[in-house]
Chains A and B, each alone.
Chain A
Amino acid sequence: MVHRMTRRTLLTTASLAAAGVATGPWVVRARAQGAPLKVGLVLPYTGVYAVLGESITQGMELVFARENWTVAGRKIEMIKEDDEMKPPVGIRKTEKLIDSDKVDILTGPVHSGILMGMRDKVHSSKTILIVSNAGADAISRERCSKWIFRTSFSNWQPCQPMGGWVAKNVAKEVFQVAPNYQAGKDMMEAFKETFVPAGGKVVAEDYPKLGETDYAPYLTKIKQSGAKAVFAFFSGTDAVNFVKQYDQFGLKQTTKLTGAGFLTEPDVLPAQGRSALGVITGHFYTPVLDNPTNQRFVKEFREKFSNKMPDGFACQGYDTAETIVRALKAVNGNTQDKEKLVAALEKTEFDSPRGRFRFDPKTHNVIQPFIYVREVKEVAGGLNNVPIDKVADVRDPGTGCTLPA
């Protein structure tokens, strides 16, 4: 007699599955060493954005490995925590890293919502946080903190220059589409800032859920909206699915696809394939930049990580680690005097793969040397984001930020 399963059991099972699917165990790799410098990473290592967390981590590892995992006499220990792209999890992991691991420096996260949730804990515990991805504009504005630096970007930065550029060079009627969360909203607003004054008209906008797999309903709406171009922000699997389906619906021929750089980063380009050809995006980095630091970075990165092409996320990781290394050397490895460490971080300046890296002292956010307008083209070695234009020194307006706070 086989055991009969009831509908109730099935329903329980289904909800168990829904709740438990992403909360898998995550093994932390820690090194046991004496008096190490503890760097805590709050990043997604599972789920839609796992590849981003991986790239950032690899960029950091490249720099730390170059320093033989020792800076100013202190061993560097990375403590990785999987935030699963869930704010409650990310905040819990942050508390764990600060309270029980007592990390010297915190980095991450990818998700803007997690960053916003982490902010008060970091600020009140005076923990130095170097934001290596999340672009929430507020962190450079009304929610800025003396203890928080950002090596990546504010959501405003890659999109604001694109608005004017698209209005001038592509089309005046645009459909905007982005995932339904903070970063998506920030980016769409930033685009409008220069797009509308340049005579542009937003025909419609849509916010699908994060992790959507079928964009058909939205693509049909774009087709029938009469828009001449689309400005989109997607990342990871979302970017792959959106760009592929955009092409399959025959929109590429009628409606130019533009967006924030994450749409066609090297982590998603191979899977998008020729569907990505011609997509125009704004970003502070592309692996084809011809400066010596970048050429060395691309070469070493590909050697270390089985020929993987570095992306903007890897560059963010690189710059985060480089910032840590340089600031630490400047204070001779003394992380006790936090005021001094903050001062050293503020002054950090170096040649990054993206250009001359420096923080804006007003906001602690990176001043982007350039925002490149890039088009996906076929080049030696496959598809890549080739710069076709650029805007120099893009710094977040930092409205409402008063440091020191």
Chain B
Amino acid sequence: MPFVLDLFAQALNGLSYGVLLFLLSVGLTLIFGMLDVVNLAHGSFYMLGAYAGLTLIAATGNFWLALAAAPLVVGMIGVVIERSCLRPLYWRGPLDQVLLTFGLIYLFEDLVKWIWGGRIRSIPPPDLFSGSVTLWGATVPSYRMFVIAFGLVMAVVLWLLIERTRLGAIIRAGVFDSEMAAGMGINVDRVFTGVFAFGAGLAGLSGVIAGPIQSAQPPMGATILVPALIVVVVGGLGSLKGSLVGSLIIGQAETFGKAWLPGASMLIIYLVMALVLLLRPQGLFGRALK
């Protein structure tokens, strides 16, 4: 059954791409949901993650170490950015935040060019996942299988963290009503910084994860931003579940679009977005609009 095989193989391709989008968009949507900041520099954190990752691998030769450490490095950068740049803007209009984070894209791009140069770089996959596997007749790089598994585990971990822990409860309280939360003795400032750093770290993590599949070069942060924003719009602003479902939908739509209608693959994604917005203006899992 070549058609069924084709369908299965392409669905796996779509899944690995979708999971990558999820790791990226979840930070974007968390930061938006909690802080009400559309962080356009989110793609830059992704880029910084890739570069931090390749530097760590060059230094240690260990992919797993880089995978663990690069998000911490990017998270720290997130702390600095939140404290120094965003904090003064929370009380001002969204346009200021958008302009600032848009400016940060150029800042980080030049910073990366300055430190690492404009040359195209790439992260080799870990030895354990350097080959390919055949699943019911479909050949998939084993690294992509790892990405799929890793992304799905991360989705569960994030859900547990936010829905089932005290920390998650604090975060949710801070979002729901930050004044009330402050009145209850929660340090809202610190929660905001923490959430921003966490989101940045997740973007950094997806940068390292994407490294062995794609290549690293300075404009990568800007190019990845658009699909990530589309996922957030489709899934619903600020929703973890929306980010996951949105990523999987967009991942499949783009993959099947490329396979069956290569000329119109981008159009298909925009059509999906338009359709979702028509039927559910707040996104699939977004808060109802007031």
Residues of B within 8 A of A22 (CB): 219, 222
A216 touches B90 (CB 8 A): no
Q: How far is the CA of A206 from the CA of B94 in the complex (A)?
A: 42
Interface status of B152 (Cβ within 8 A of chain A): no
B263 touches A180 (CB 8 A): yes
Residues of B within 8 A of A350 (CB): none
Interface status of B35 (Cβ within 8 A of chain A): yes
With an 8 Å Cβ cutoff, the count of chain B residues facing the other chain is: 74
Minimum CB–CB distance for A11 against chain B, Å? 7
Most central of B91, B213, B286, B289 by chain A CB within 10 Å: B213
Q: How many contacting A-B pairs (Cβ < 8 A)?
A: 179
Minimum CB–CB distance for B62 against chain A, Å? 17
Given A5-B36, A5-B38, A217-B256, check contact A272 B122 (CB 8 Å).
Answer: yes
B179 touches A1 (CB 8 A): yes
A216 touches B17 (CB 8 A): yes
> In the complex, which of the residues B38, B119, B256 contacts A10, with contact meaning CB atoms closer than 8 Å?
B38
A10 touches B258 (CB 8 A): no
Contact with A along B253-267 (1 / 0, CB 8 A): 011101100110110
B13 touches A3 (CB 8 A): no
B217 touches A237 (CB 8 A): yes
Interface status of B92 (Cβ within 8 A of chain A): yes
User: Taking beta carbons and an 8 Å cutoff, which residues of A are in contact with B?
Assistant: 1-7, 9-11, 13-14, 16-18, 20-22, 24-25, 46-48, 50-51, 54, 180, 206-209, 211-214, 216-218, 220-221, 223-224, 236-237, 240-241, 244-245, 248-250, 267-268, 270-273, 308
Residues of B within 8 A of A268 (CB): 120
Closest to B222 in A: A21
Sample (20) of A-B pairs whose CB atoms are under 8 Å apart: A2-B90, A3-B90, A3-B94, A9-B38, A9-B95, A9-B98, A13-B229, A20-B102, A21-B226, A22-B219, A51-B119, A51-B217, A214-B17, A216-B16, A223-B139, A224-B6, A237-B214, A241-B215, A248-B125, A267-B120
Which of the 9-residue segments B64-72, B153-161, B230-238 touches chain A? B230-238
> In the complex, which of the residues A4, A236, A245, A308 contacts B36, with contact meaning CB atoms closer than 8 Å?
A4
Residues of B within 8 A of A240 (CB): 120, 122, 215
Q: How far is the CA of A250 from the CA of B230 in the complex (A)?
A: 32
> In the complex, which of the residues B38, B214, B265 contacts A213, with contact meaning CB atoms closer than 8 Å?
B214
B232 touches A244 (CB 8 A): no
Within 8 A of A (CB), among B188-224: 212-215, 217-219, 222-224
B contact patch SS: helix
Closest to A20 in B: B102
Beyond the given A7-B282, A218-B262, please list 5 additional residue pairs across the A-B interface where CB-CB is below 8 A: A4-B36, A9-B38, A14-B229, A217-B258, A224-B9
Minimum CB–CB distance for B148 against chain A, Å? 12
B138 touches A220 (CB 8 A): yes
B255 touches A217 (CB 8 A): yes
Q: How far is the CA of A16 from the CA of B214 in the complex (A)?
A: 25
> In the complex, which of the residues B92, B141, B281 contacts A7, with contact meaning CB atoms closer than 8 Å?
B281
> In the complex, which of the residues B102, B132, B143, B282 contacts A16, with contact meaning CB atoms closer than 8 Å?
B102
Q: How far is the CA of A28 from the CA of B153 in the complex (A)?
A: 48
Interface status of B118 (Cβ within 8 A of chain A): yes
Residues of A within 8 A of B109 (CB): 24
Q: How far is the CA of A91 from the CA of B282 in the complex (A)?
A: 41
